[in-house]
Amino acid sequence: MYLQIVEQVRHGIAAGALQPDDELPSVRALAGEHLINPNTVARAYLELEREGLLSKRRGSGTYVSPTAAALGRAHRVQAVRELLDKAVAAAESYGLTAKQVRELMEERLWKIGEKSA
């Protein structure tokens, strides 16, 4: 559960759903909402604080750090890189050639271009 919290916050920051200075639920509130031990939430928040994604404000709560946007972009690129690595490995295991993989990728990228136009 601890890793799920960490990944959800990382993803929220990377996707832009969580912005710098957004307040996160308190440890007790999040633990109560998910019926988990507060230490689990505290551990996840501490991990994210060490990464520079969150910051605690004494007596006020836990917030997305001002530097999280830059770190979120880096996480987004890394996450996509890992997914692409898995896709390439799968394509290789299915016996696709580099040309076939490139054509598939170009097809998908073309769809992204259509959406943003």
How is the chain split into domains, by residue range? 1-117
Q: Name the nearest CA neighbour of 31 among 59, 5, 58.
A: 5
What phi, psi does 20 have (nearest 5°)?
Answer: -50, 140
Q: Of 1.20.1560.10, 1.10.10.10, 3.40.50.920, 3.40.190.10, which CATH number belongs to 1-117? A: 1.10.10.10
Q: Position 71: which residue type? A: L
Six-digit token pair at 111?
């769809």
pTM of the model: 0.68
The CA–CA distances, whole Å, from 6 to 10, 44, 101, 113 equal 6, 6, 33, 31
pLDDT in tens, 8-44: 998 898 888 999 999 999 999 999 999 999 999 999 9
Pairing of strands 61-64, 54-57: antiparallel
- The stretch 44-67 carries a mean pLDDT of 92
Q: Decide: helix, strand or coil at residue 66.
A: coil
